[in-house]
Structure 1
Amino acid sequence: MIPWLTSGAFLLAAVVVGSVLARRPQARTPAGKALLTWNLFGAVAQVVTIHPVYHAVSSLVGHHNTAIVLSHGLGLVAAFFAEIMMLCWTRGADGARAAARYRAAVTGGAIAVLAVLFALTPEVADTPASWRLDNIERPTVALYSVVYALAYSWVLLDLCRLSVRYARMVVTPQTRIGLQLFTVGTAFGLAYQLMAAVDGLVGATGHRLPAHTPLSLALVCIGVVFLCLGAVVPLVTTAVIEFARRCRQAWLCHRMEPLYRDLATEYPQVLKGPVWYGTTGWLVNWYGNGRRLMQRTIEIHDGLSELRPWMDDLAYRVGATEAMKEGFDAEAVALVAQSVQVADALRTKRDGAPGHRIHVEMVEVAKDHEAVWLARLAQTYRTRLVDHTLDALASRRDPAATAAVRNPS
Structure 2
Amino acid sequence: MSLVVYLAALVFGTTSVLLFRRPRAAMRNPLTLSTCVAIVLGALVFVCAAPATLATVNDLTGVPNFGAPLTYGMLSAYSCAVLVLLINWRGGPRARVRRMVLRTMAAYGLLVLAIVVLFLLADADTERLTDLDTYYAGTPFMREMILLYLLGHTAAMLVMCAVCVKWGREVRGLLRAGLRLILLGAALDVVGFQLTKYTAVVARWTGHDLDFLSTSVAPPMASLAALLCSAGFVLPRLLPPVVAHWRGLDDYRRLDPLWCLVRSVSTAPKPPSSWWQSPRARLQWREVSIHDALLTLAPYFDHGVRVRVRDGALRAGRSPHQARLAAEAAMLTDAARRAAAREEPPEAAATYRLHATEVPGPSGLVELAQALRHPPGRTAAPGGAEPSAMTGTLTEPEEPHVA
Match of 1:65 in 2: 65
* Contact 1:153/1:194, CA 8 A, preserved across alignment: no
- Rounded to whole Å, the distance in 1 between the matches of 2:252 and 2:176 is 29
* Partner amino acid, structure 2, of 1:359: T
- Rounded to whole Å, the distance in 2 between the matches of 1:321 and 1:339 is 14
Match of 2:354 in 1: 362
Does 2:201 align with 1:216? no
Instruction: Tell me: CA distance 1:149–1:114, structure 2 relative to 1, closer, same or farther (3 Å).
Output: same
- Rounded to whole Å, the distance in 2 between the matches of 1:221 and 1:133 is 20
State the superposition RMSD in angstroms. Answer: 3.5
Instruction: Tell me: CA distance 1:281–1:247, structure 2 relative to 1, closer, same or farther (3 Å).
Output: farther
Number of equivalences:
377
Shift of 1:355: 4.2
- Rounded to whole Å, the distance in 1 between the matches of 2:231 and 2:395 is 61
* Contact 1:335/1:380, CA 8 A, preserved across alignment: no
* Contact 1:7/1:47, CA 8 A, preserved across alignment: yes
Match of 1:116 in 2: 117
Superimposed CA distance per residue, residues 355-408 of structure 1 (whole angstroms, 9 cap, x where no aligned partner)? 44743453475334223123224535798797731689xxxxxxxxxxxxxxxx
Instruction: Tell me: CA distance 1:345–1:201, structure 2 relative to 1, closer, same or farther (3 Å).
Output: closer
Match of 2:7 in 1: 8
Instruction: Tell me: CA distance 1:372–1:21, structure 2 relative to 1, closer, same or farther (3 Å).
Output: same
- Rounded to whole Å, the distance in 2 between the matches of 1:57 and 1:346 is 74
- Rounded to whole Å, the distance in 1 between the matches of 2:152 and 2:336 is 76
Shift of 1:344: 3.4
Superimposed CA distance per residue, residues 216-247 of structure 1 (whole angstroms, 9 cap, x where no aligned partner)? 33432332232233235445644642441232
- Rounded to whole Å, the distance in 1 between the matches of 2:178 and 2:62 is 42
Q: Identity over the aligned pairs, expressed in percent?
A: 19
**Structure 1 counterpart SS, 2:20:** helix
Match of 1:47 in 2: 47
Shift of 1:123: 2.3
**Structure 1 counterpart SS, 2:129:** coil
- Rounded to whole Å, the distance in 2 between the matches of 1:340 and 1:43 is 59
Q: 134-143 or 178-187, which moves further after superposition? A: 134-143
Map 1:70-85 → 2, pairs under 5 A: 70-85=70-85
Shift of 1:35: 2.1
Instruction: Tell me: CA distance 1:148–1:354, structure 2 relative to 1, closer, same or farther (3 Å).
Output: closer
Shift of 1:297: 3.0
- Rounded to whole Å, the distance in 1 between the matches of 2:37 and 2:210 is 37
* Partner amino acid, structure 2, of 1:145: I
Q: Structure 2: which 5+ residue stretches go unaligned? A: 380-389, 397-403
**Structure 1 counterpart SS, 2:392:** helix
TM-score, scaled to structure 2: 0.79
- Rounded to whole Å, the distance in 2 between the matches of 1:42 and 1:376 is 49
Q: Structure 1: which 5+ residue stretches go unaligned? A: 265-270, 393-409
Shift of 1:253: 4.2
- Rounded to whole Å, the distance in 2 between the matches of 1:116 and 1:198 is 25
Does 2:265 align with 1:272? no
Shift of 1:61: 2.0
Match of 2:105 in 1: 104
* Contact 1:49/1:71, CA 8 A, preserved across alignment: yes
- Rounded to whole Å, the distance in 1 between the matches of 2:293 and 2:57 is 71
Map 1:134-213 → 2, pairs under 5 A: 134-167=135-168, 171-173=172-174, 175-191=175-191, 192-197=193-198, 207-208=207-208, 210-211=210-211, 212-213=213-214
* Partner amino acid, structure 1, of 2:393: T
Within the candidate set 369, 385, 392, 1:388 is matched to 392
Match of 2:132 in 1: 131
Within the candidate set 245, 248, 258, 2:247 is matched to 245
Instruction: Tell me: CA distance 1:295–1:383, structure 2 relative to 1, closer, same or farther (3 Å).
Output: farther
Does 2:322 align with 1:343? no
Match of 2:382 in 1: none
Shift of 1:254: 2.8
- Rounded to whole Å, the distance in 1 between the matches of 2:134 and 2:251 is 58
Superimposed CA distance per residue, residues 245-271 of structure 1 (whole angstroms, 9 cap, x where no aligned partner)? 23214314433323322543xxxxxx3
Match of 1:407 in 2: none
Instruction: Tell me: CA distance 1:231–1:258, structure 2 relative to 1, closer, same or farther (3 Å).
Output: same
- Rounded to whole Å, the distance in 1 between the matches of 2:282 and 2:347 is 31
* Contact 1:114/1:144, CA 8 A, preserved across alignment: yes
